[in-house]
Amino acid sequence: MYSLPSSITIRINGTILGTDKYTYSSSTGQAVINSVTGDVSVEGSASCLVEGTKILLANGKYKNVEDIGYYDLLAVWNYKEGKKGYAYPIWILSAGHANEYLKSSFSDGSYLKTVDTHSIFDVGKNQFISIDDIDFTVGNKVAKVDKNGNLYSVELIKQEKVSEFIKYYHIITSYNHNVISNDFITTDGNAFFANVYQFDNNMKWNGKEMSLAKKSHYTYDDFKDLIPYGLYEGLRLKEASYFKKYLDLDTFKYYINESVIKNHHKSPVYDKDGNRIWLVTISTEDINQFIDKSFKKEATYYIFPIKKDVKFYLDASNGEKYFPGDKIKIYYSRHFIAIK
């Protein structure tokens, strides 16, 4: 179920090495080069959406993937509760360029344009699968979600490679990682943190598996040489321990380094003193109503406001509950729904 990039690019002294000159295993991450004659660089395949892809916002409107920023509140799929939720991006890939993309067309007339690996939820397999995987074929059914949060499925009817110079982008949201692209629920090409637990009905994680995973979580000490604490928390890296029978820690860290750290991404927002700042928002139960905004410096506390008509607050990405007066440290942008 879990794999590293399905393909890699190896360069020696800047020149791309032919695939007949090395072997690569996507299950172990091991690459063996027949002959090394200079400096070697290895790049994982991209996991991206082509410019013009429509990303669903929390307010029900759409925005092109190339226009999404860190303060755009997006609609996401909440795996913990099996329903639509909301989250801010925690990592956004800067524009990349390609001369070819894959166009996947579906039975309702919709389509999705992707570059290299990018995962979509396969209803028959009940898990996310890379859209360029050999097992993703015509006839497979995939999940879509409407603006009201209802799931439905459509069938893949055609895939074709299109030769055209394009720009591509990738967005990772906090906790769930996914975005809703052209109404498809899409995520990273390798779907590590989507498929980490088995899915029950309505694309909801199996609660028993989640409970078992808590017993053997990685800690930040395992990643502090590689990544800021905010990304460790927001990307749920501690849960990577659950699939260590497939990937050891060093191999997984290599993947994170290649796909997140080394990839050129949009810089988060900083204040005039050079502090990274994140957005905390609270709404009423209706996401379209007024949203109270608060900008917080990273690693500072946010105290939930005490209001007479509010019983508690729910994290819009995973349903975690907080009460008025509770305080949490902020390491990435968060959105909460006030329950009266």
301: Cα separation from own chain's centroid: 25
Q: Would you say residue 322 has pLDDT above 90?
A: yes
Collapsing DSSP to helix, strand or coil, 141 comes out as strand
Most confident of the ranges 190-204, 247-261, 324-338: 324-338
pLDDT in tens, 52-102: 999 999 999 999 999 999 999 999 999 999 999 999 999 998 888 888 999
- How would residue 15 be classed by pLDDT, with cut points 50, 70 and 90? low
- Identify the pLDDT of residue 27: 46
Mean predicted confidence (pLDDT) in 188-214: 83
The domain segmentation of the chain, as residue ranges, is 8-44, 47-203, 277-339
- Identify the pLDDT of residue 78: 96
Q: Would you say residue 47 has pLDDT above 60?
A: yes
The CA-atom distances, in angstroms, between 98 and each of 34, 162, 179, 234, 332 are 28, 11, 22, 29, 30
Mean predicted confidence (pLDDT) in 278-300: 83
Q: Which residue has the higher pLDDT, 132 or 113?
A: 113
Contact by Cβ (8 Å): 180, 187? no
Q: Which residues touch 89 (CB under 8 Å, ≥6 apart)?
A: 68, 69, 70, 72, 74, 171, 172, 173, 174, 333
| CATH number of the domain located at residue range(s) 47-203 in this protein | 2.170.16.10
Joined tokens for residue 96 = 């990349």
Q: What is the CA radius of gyration of the chain?
A: 20
Measure the CA–CA gap between 111 and 11, rounded to whole angstroms. 33
- Identify the pLDDT of residue 43: 55
- How would residue 46 be classed by pLDDT, with cut points 50, 70 and 90? low
Collapsing DSSP to helix, strand or coil, 201 comes out as helix
| Residue in the block written with tokens 């629920």 | 185
- Identify the pLDDT of residue 2: 37
DSSP state of 57: B
Positive/negative CA dihedral, 206, 210, 211, 216: positive
Q: Would you say residue 207 has pLDDT above 70?
A: yes
Q: Would you say residue 313 has pLDDT above 90?
A: yes
Q: Average pLDDT over the chain, rounded to whole?
A: 86
pLDDT in tens, 133-185: 888 999 999 999 998 899 999 999 999 999 999 999 999 999 999 999 999 99
31-33/22-24 β-pairing? antiparallel
- Identify the pLDDT of residue 266: 83
Mean predicted confidence (pLDDT) in 249-259: 81
253: Cα separation from own chain's centroid: 17
